[in-house]
Amino acid sequence: MPPETALRLLAERRGRLESVAVTGGEPTLWKDLPDFLAAVKALGYRVKLDTAGDRPDALADLLARGLVDFVAMDVKDAPERYGRYAPDPRAPERVRTAAAVLRESGVPYEIRITVTPKLHEDEAILRAVRWIGPVPRLVLQAYRPAPGVMAPEIAGTEPTPPDRLRRLRARILAEAPAAATAVELRGG
């Protein structure tokens, strides 16, 4: 949807909506994002940003300018396994920097990890949690198959069993208690 259309729709819905979620692909890749968010904020909306954290400088700029009220950052895996998702070898460093930017910003945030049965063993999730932490809220999300999944490595993957998420949360709280203040389960 063109930004002008989105802003027009938001202007029409003032008083009926309170917030806007800006999600991706990766929103921080869009060079006009700061201007768009400033326009959204000028309409009186709160803004949630979903990001993979691979542009920490852009994230820091948005936070410093007060353009974002909440951030949900997706961590894909343990750092040594990031090559599966991002060909740039600096991706893990950028993601960890983005987590530090969030910690220092004072803006509420959560770190999300989608636990995908064919991709993640529990030990890798534990390494990711220790590597990215400490965080105020860690969200373990169940993988849910979606039509048209293009990644062949997860084609045919069953949803994450709820009991696996519960066991993983218990392990995180027992083995890495300093990594997350709260561990929430979603979709399981």
Summarize pLDDT for 63-72 with one digit per residue, the tens.
Answer: 999 999 999 9
**Residues spanned by the domain of 44:** 3-186
Sheet of 180-186, strand order: 19-22, 46-51, 70-74, 109-115, 135-142, 180-186
Quote the pLDDT of residue 72.
99
| CATH code assigned at 78 | 3.20.20.70
Asked whether residue 102 carries a pLDDT value surpassing 90, the answer given is yes
Number of domains in the chain: 1
Query: Is cis: bond before 25, omega within 30 of 0?
Result: yes
CB 113 within 8 A of CB 128: yes
**Mean residue pLDDT across the chain:** 94
Summarize pLDDT for 124-162 with one digit per residue, the tens.
Answer: 999 999 999 899 999 999 999 887 766 777 777 889 999
Summarize pLDDT for 18-52 with one digit per residue, the tens.
Answer: 999 999 889 999 999 999 999 999 999 999 999 99
